[in-house]
Amino acid sequence: MSRTIADQTVEQLGGEGSVLVRQRRDHAEMDRLMGRHQALRDGAERERVLRELVRLVFSHAFAEETVLWPAVRRAAADGEELTSRVEEEHQEINDLVTDVERLDPGSAEREERVLRFFALVRQDIRDEEDLVLPRLREALDAGRLRQLGAAWETVRRSAPTRPHPVVPRRPPGNAVLGVPLSLYDRLRDGLGPGVSGPWGRRILAGLTGLLVSGAVAVLVRKRC
């Protein structure tokens, strides 16, 4: 039976740069942010922590779908089944956070969605650490795990940070569309609340629309 990565040492997981160690570190930070959000009473600080969590969750998931899950499908006989399961969880998280972003802060409906989001993130962490990631540990040596870790980190640092229903869950579509959407997200993250006005949204939406159109054209040409 595969052993969860939750209780293995850094050395057992392939060393400090291993993708398994990086994954587990991100998971711990997600758990910390969820606990912090639930302990806070100040509305503004709760919103700041929630935004930080959302940015981490989506960049982390995008890197998984782009780098890790293809590796799992190649390495494990049941890789297709395992990755399909977590991809479904990622899609549900995407839909929940889309709902959270359109609802008024402090509303009962929004709080219910936030709690459901937290529960699903925790379930996703358990599925990954107990079921999916141990397959990589069984199949790959420490050197390969560190190589995957470097690729995963590169993608995570340039990944979208918000939910986007147009992004597929698998390569090459997610990688092609992820570039312009990452630019859009990071502009929003950097500009802060000022971009939430109608003109700010129109400018960014127009810019991103052009970039997405170009990305779709590239994807279509690749498939032809």
The percentage of residues in the chain with a pLDDT greater than 70, rounded to a whole number, is: 75
Provide the CA 223 distance to its chain's centre, in angstroms. Answer: 26
111 half-sphere exposure, CB direction, 13 A CA radius:
7
Pick from 86, 169, 161, 93: nearest CA to 129 = 86
Which strand (E) or helix (H) includes residue 134? helix 133-139
Query: What are the C-alpha distances in Å from 156 to residues 21, 31, 63, 198, 199?
Result: 14, 18, 5, 29, 29
Pick from 9, 5, 210, 2: nearest CA to 126 = 5
Question: What pTM was estimated for this model as a whole?
Answer: 0.81
Query: What are the C-alpha distances in Å from 114 to residues 32, 57, 104, 124, 209?
Result: 15, 13, 12, 15, 29
pLDDT digits (tens, 9 = 90+) for 26-37: 999 999 999 999
Can you give the length of the chain in residues?
A: 224
pLDDT digits (tens, 9 = 90+) for 108-146: 999 999 999 999 999 999 999 999 999 999 999 999 999
Each of the 224 residues of the chain gets a pLDDT tens digit; together they read 468 999 999 999 999 999 999 999 999 999 999 999 999 999 999 999 999 999 999 999 999 999 999 999 999 999 999 999 999 999 999 999 999 999 999 899 999 999 999 999 999 999 999 999 999 999 999 999 999 999 999 999 888 888 877 667 677 766 666 666 776 676 767 655 544 455 445 444 444 444 444 443 333 344 43
Q: What share of the chain is helix, strand, coil (3-state, %, to 5)?
A: 80, 0, 20
CB 183 within 8 A of CB 211: yes
The first and second tokens of residue 167, run together, are 């992004």
Please tell me the distance from the alpha carbon of residue 208 to that of residue 162, in angstroms, as a whole number. Answer: 14
Please tell me the distance from the alpha carbon of residue 62 to that of residue 56, in angstroms, as a whole number. Answer: 10
